[in-house]
Amino acid sequence: MSTGTPATQMLKKAKIAFRTHEYDFVTGQHQIGLHAAEAVGLPPDQVFKTLMIEVDGKPACAVIPSDHSLSMKKVAAALGGKSASMMDTAKAEKLTGYHKGGISPFGQRRKCPTVMDASIEGFEEVVINGGKRGLMVILAPDDAVSVIGATTAGVTAEE
């Protein structure tokens, strides 16, 4: 498998240290993030999933632990909005240039505001989708946040 994606290219160009981990993506998985955590062999709260949302009708991105749910109220507030909703899959794929199950916050076709759950700061390394199904990047949380200018806030329903 080739690991050259817009996400990995962006990280390389920014001189961000990262490793990749590839696994056999199984289509039809209900909880893709949990499947990825199992494949990588790390706890689900250290493996983050990327969700494309709309805040007050505008595109945004949320990155949260794979075993958590997003709080629409909290994510809207974190991004300075009043309400949030999940983005339609077709719209998310067109906006990001990635397919469902392979959406990464890095190297998206169109940059949009991104919030990463504050729990990301509790790890030495985190795992985030690398821009295609079955490809994860492992990197320092500070690098993940800074390379895309993300904000951090508690945005999960479990907090």
Q: Which domains does the chain have, with CATH numbers?
A: 6-153 (3.90.960.10)
Asked if residue 93 lies in contact with residue 100, where contact means CB atoms within 8 angstroms, the answer is: yes
Burial of 38 (0-12, 13-18, 19+ CB in 10 A): middle
Asked if residue 136 lies in contact with residue 127, where contact means CB atoms within 8 angstroms, the answer is: yes
Task: Give the mean pLDDT of 99-104.
Answer: 92
Asked if residue 120 lies in contact with residue 145, where contact means CB atoms within 8 angstroms, the answer is: yes
Task: Give the mean pLDDT of 98-115.
Answer: 95
Mean of all residue pLDDT scores within the chain: 91
pLDDT level of residue 150 (50, 70, 90 thresholds): very high
Distance CA(17)–CA(69), nearest Å, equals 28
Asked if residue 6 lies in contact with residue 108, where contact means CB atoms within 8 angstroms, the answer is: yes
Tens-place pLDDT, residues 1-46: 445 899 999 999 999 999 999 887 766 555 666 767 777 888 889 9
Tell whether the model's pLDDT for residue 120 goes beyond 50.
yes
**pLDDT of amino acid 1:** 42
**pLDDT of amino acid 23:** 85
Residue with tokens 């700061």: 121
**pLDDT of amino acid 159:** 64
- The closest of 6, 2, 154 to 74, measured between CA atoms, is 154
Asked if residue 63 lies in contact with residue 120, where contact means CB atoms within 8 angstroms, the answer is: yes
